[in-house]
Amino acid sequence: MKVGIGQINPTIGDFSGNVERLIDAYRKCVEAGADLVITPELAIPGYPPRDMVYRSGFVKGNLKALQDLAQETKGVPLIAGFVDFSKEKAGAPFVNAAAVLQNGKVQHVVLKCLLPTYDVFDEARYFQPGCEVEPIEIAGKKIGITICEDIWSEDYLPSKLYVKNPPKALVEKGAEIILNLSASPYHQGKPMVREEMMDSLCRDLGVPIVYANAIGGNDQLVFDGHSAVIGKDGKVLHRLAGFEEAVAVVDLDGAANEVEDWPVPMEEVSGALVLGVRDYMRKCGFKKAVIGLSGGIDSALVAAIAAQAIGPENVLGVTMPSQFSSEGSVDDSVALAEHLGIECQQIPIKKVFEALKSEMRPVFGDREEDVTEENMQARIRGLMLMSISNKMGNLLLTTGNKSELAVGYCTIYGDMCGGLAVISDLPKTTVFELCRWLNRDGEVIPWNTINKPPSAELRPDQKDQDSLPEYEILDGILEGYVEMQLSVAEIVAEGYEEEVVKWVARAVDINEWKRFQAAPGIRVSSKAFGMGRRYPIAQRYS
């Protein structure tokens, strides 16, 4: 049997555009000899639609698109995901469904059984789970159709979440092949874990799995693709590319193709960030970006990612030196712009800063200058960048990293201004690692930017490490506290100084209000700030 996979990039709510992508993938697979074609989870409405499903006409619109898509099918079945109304009298109002389309009609409908409600997932809020599974005969084979979470075994989930095992039940009822429509979001290491899980499942069940994953960026989530066909012996017969649309037709009875090695971690992270920026801008209607260039490593990395995502001709860098800025910061910003081929404008803020201090003197009185004046500089820069964004229609990309955002080493309404926080899920140590990887074949980011001590340059001779622990220490503690959710005592037991751990933990907790107002960030870790981490702001637990 030859199975076609359409690894497409849907946009939430773009029913006609998504149907066009599905039709294109379907036709290519049919021309290549596919006996059936499988596409990603909720490919018609886009995933995750979240509360859009409650909007008047949304579900009906996706059902109309399903019928339009069915009209394009001939003898070869197409399996596509959609949202339907639940037929149950109680429970959630909708179902996450897959339809088998053939000869202009919806021949079968299958419901998702296991609804993830953890981390970034909240499907039980919207969907009623399917109760029963039955194989469907297609092209002379008994096919078990599953949707994303349905194939995830307990060994690979955060905890024992489910009592059902849909793939096992389907095989017990005679299924010879398991198909899985998926929209599995990316984080570091996830593609390999996902494939390892399917390898194990195939060996346990003794049947092959055909897995179709979405690609694309939808707000904070990036979907990496890496769709695959796994033989019943657990060997990978074929794997599609990551972070790009692709189609493939695989003979389940044929020999395995030569599968490329997984990319190195930084190549994978770079691919996710570039796709996340490109899709966020494209799907929100932006063509150009503006970035504040400080001469530091964070803004340099964001500029490099943006230039790759949307083209250097669409990126404007702005350097805004003050009396505290080193000459090297401006020079490094100009050198970066030359390396990337982006435009660079210079707007000094010294006169504006001095004028603002003068105007505030009657209110401030004889109080000494402190962090207030540092934040004023950041907010002047934020005002200038947002003004450029408003006037020119460019999306302002913020440049803060995860380490800074975690402990509040950032200025609300200052350097936090913007529409997308590109590297807000990258710890500072990973920022350095990724920049060095980008320079692997030649200088992209000036080496001086990478090698000099990080500094906000908001007061004379300022260095980040004047206010923060060494980044290697800070990031190690943050990994334990934020991603692994360990207690202070557990982190101290790992060998960190107790007072440092307590300071970091308190800084994370008291800065929740800043992150609540931050621009959405692209998720690349297993626990990012944003939709997958929900903490109250007003609380007294410590």
Asked whether the beta carbons of 288 and 394 are under 8 A apart, the reply is: yes
Residue ending a domain, choose from 253, 287, 320 = 253
First to last CA, the chain: 58
In a domain, 528, yes or no: no
- Candidate list 29, 41, 417, 457, residue with the active-site label: 41
> Do 151 and 276 share a domain, yes or no?
no
> Do 346 and 425 share a domain, yes or no?
yes
In a domain, 435, yes or no: yes
Provide the domain count of the chain.
Answer: 3
> Do 59 and 150 share a domain, yes or no?
yes
Pairing state of beta strands 36-38 and 94-102?
unpaired
Asked whether the beta carbons of 99 and 58 are under 8 A apart, the reply is: no
Structure tokens at 478: 């943050």
> Do 236 and 278 share a domain, yes or no?
no
Q: Taking the CA atoms of 86, 91, 97 and 99 in sequence, report the sign of the dihedral they define.
A: negative
CATH number for the domain spanning 297: value is: 3.40.50.620
Asked whether the beta carbons of 335 and 351 are under 8 A apart, the reply is: no
> Do 116 and 236 share a domain, yes or no?
yes
Residue ending a domain, choose from 205, 225, 253 = 253
Neighbours of 236 (CB within 10 A): 17
Q: Is 112 a catalytic residue?
A: yes
Crossing angle of helices 498-510 and 471-478, in 10° steps, is 70
User: What is the rounded distance in angstroms from the CA atom of residue 411 to the CA atom of residue 382?
Assistant: 9
In a domain, 129, yes or no: yes
> Do 68 and 17 share a domain, yes or no?
yes
In a domain, 258, yes or no: no
- Candidate list 29, 113, 123, 148, residue with the active-site label: 148
Map tokens 């995502």 to a residue. 309
Rounded average pLDDT per 10-residue block, the chain, 542 residues: 97 97 98 97 97 96 98 96 95 97 97 94 95 92 96 75 87 97 96 94 96 97 97 94 96 82 93 98 97 95 98 97 81 95 96 95 94 93 97 97 96 96 97 97 94 71 75 96 94 96 96 95 94 87 80
| 3-class state of residue 62 by DSSP | helix
Q: Report pLDDT for 329.
A: 83
In a domain, 541, yes or no: no
- H/E stretch holding 510 reads helix 498-510
Q: Report pLDDT for 462.
A: 63
Asked whether the beta carbons of 101 and 141 are under 8 A apart, the reply is: no
In a domain, 264, yes or no: no
In a domain, 79, yes or no: yes
Phi, psi for residue 429 in degrees, rounded to 5: -65, -35
Crossing angle of helices 428-438 and 471-478, in 10° steps, is 120
> Do 93 and 194 share a domain, yes or no?
yes
> Do 495 and 422 share a domain, yes or no?
no
132 lies in which domain range?
2-253
> Do 226 and 81 share a domain, yes or no?
yes
In a domain, 261, yes or no: no
CATH number for the domain spanning 132: value is: 3.60.110.10
Residue ending a domain, choose from 253, 279, 302 = 253
Q: Report pLDDT for 261.
A: 86
> Do 459 and 482 share a domain, yes or no?
no
> Do 474 and 373 share a domain, yes or no?
no
Helices (H), 287-398: 297-310, 327-340, 350-364, 371-392
Q: Is 202 a catalytic residue?
A: no
> Burial letters for 389-424: b for 16+ Cβ neighbours within 10 Å, e otherwise?
beeeebbbbbbbbbbbbbbbbbbbebbbbbbbbbbb
> Do 32 and 177 share a domain, yes or no?
yes
Map tokens 């490490």 to a residue. 465
- Candidate list 2, 112, 283, 514, residue with the active-site label: 112
User: What is the rounded distance in angstroms from the CA atom of residue 4 to the CA atom of residue 526?
Assistant: 31
